[in-house]
Structure 1
Amino acid sequence: MIWIVETITQKFDNLRTLMKGSSSILIEDGKVNTKALKKAKLEMEQLRTLLRMQGIFSLRQVEHAVLETSGMVSVMEKAREEPVSKGDVLEDYEKNVPTYLVVEEKDINDRNLKLMGKSKEWLLDELQKLNYHLEDIYFAEWSKTDGFFIQSYQETSKEK
């Protein structure tokens, strides 16, 4: 069966997309493409898992991400986030710390707040200081060293 599908898709280009699908741009210019994410039936935490499998531990690091037809995610990091040998550049540098998804599609992630040792009140106060309202947030990520990385619904990229 696999051989038949491969042979047909090689001989007939117009059937390739129908039978194998096409890649989807999940992140473009550093913004999550919510329409592509929903079309691929992925949640934010699933996207973050796929990125972590590529060695990316924060959405802030991603310039472009493509969901390939194989189900793998190809990632282009932001130029300033590309790895460098810290030992060659710095004598003293900060330890890597995890990031936490604290808001996903307007919902507060209580489990991650608890892991961080923070409360809902703290989160709402911090968001207010940054002039964000919970109902406007598509996702919010937080780390001890970098603070918040937030994308509102207004900032989500449009599917092309």
Structure 2
Amino acid sequence: MDNVLDASFFVLWRAALSALVIFLLTKLTGPRQITQLTFLDYIMGITIGNLAAEMSVNSDIPWYSPVIAMALYTLISITTAYITDKSIQGRKLLTGIPTLLVFKGKIIEKNLNKNKFDINDLLTQLRIKGYFDLSNVEYAIMETTGDISILPKENYRPTILKDISVPTTQSSLSANVIIDGNIMEANLRNMKKDRKWLDNQVSSRGYKIKDVILMTLDSEDNINIQLKNQNIKDDEDNYFL
């Protein structure tokens, strides 16, 4: 019984100490840790959390060892934040720069690959932002936090139409009929089209299906085709540094 009480007391006081240490260290790093979470911040946060958990339950290590390690990781986080605030090259090296995924309405495939993104990931993020049709998007930018920022084409920028008395019609969903050179047979059937129609639409534009990274079709038969490996000179460093 005494051993159980001793073990419980050990966990309680160490858990309380680790929570206090994390609170103090978080105050030192400031709100940046939460609101501007970079890849490096994410790694530091996970590591500090693991150290705090180890400190709470591992009786084989002295309490001050994890505290020292957590303080060191926090110091690294603060130092890198200072460097990225003061140095453009330091910011590029430590946190990277935003990456253009869509440039003037065209998908930049090499930037998708660089960020371990595929076309489905991009379309998912666009839908989350409220854009169900890629043809409405002028620019899509992956921020260093992993979030996607979108600049729609001029005609699709948000406005309150009732305030300017403009009659509106309900937009319809677009179906992805080709993704990364693969025909989405079910989507094609749902849009009441067949393979022959698809071949004609693609070939009449001078393309081959294997060269298409994305083709969408809406209920009004509007088509948007994005090609693989487009040589788009986005010059992204000049945009974001």
Question: Residues 1-160 of structure 1 correspond to what in structure 2 (within 5 A)?
Answer: 1-2=44-45, 3-13=74-84, 14-87=89-162, 88-90=165-167, 93-145=168-220, 147-153=222-228, 155=230, 157-158=232-233, 160=235
Which amino acid is 2:79 matched to? I
Q: TM-score, normalised by structure 2?
A: 0.58
CA contact (8 A) 1:27 1:33 kept: yes
What is the CA distance between 1:25 and its match in structure 2? 0.8
Unaligned stretches of 5+ in structure 2?
A: 1-43, 46-73, 236-241
What is the CA distance between 1:85 and its match in structure 2? 3.7
What is the CA distance between 1:156 and its match in structure 2? 5.0
Residues 117 and 108 (structure 1), Cα distance of their counterparts in 2 relative to 1, 3 Å cut: same
Greater fraction of residues in strand:
1
What is the CA distance between 1:89 and its match in structure 2? 0.6
Higher RCO by CA contacts (8 Å cutoff, separation 6 or greater) = 1
SS for the counterpart of 1:65 is strand
For residues 72-120 of structure 1, what are the alpha-carbon distances to aligned partners after superposition, in whole Å with 9 as ceiling and x for unaligned?
1000111112234444211xx4322101111122221223223334322
Q: Distance in 2 between matches of 1:152 and 1:113?
A: 19
CA contact (8 A) 1:35 1:158 kept: no
State the number of aligned residues. Answer: 158
Q: Distance in 2 between matches of 1:50 and 1:17?
A: 24
Note the aligned Cα RMSD (angstroms).
2.3
Q: Please, which moves more after superposition, 47-56 or 146-155? A: 146-155
The percentage of aligned residue pairs carrying the same residue is 27
Q: TM-score, normalised by structure 1?
A: 0.83
Which amino acid is 2:180 matched to? E
Which amino acid is 2:103 matched to? E
Unaligned stretches of 5+ in structure 1?
A: none
CA contact (8 A) 1:50 1:73 kept: yes
Greater fraction of residues in helix:
2
CA contact (8 A) 1:34 1:157 kept: no
Say which one has the larger Rg: 2
Which amino acid is 2:115 matched to? A
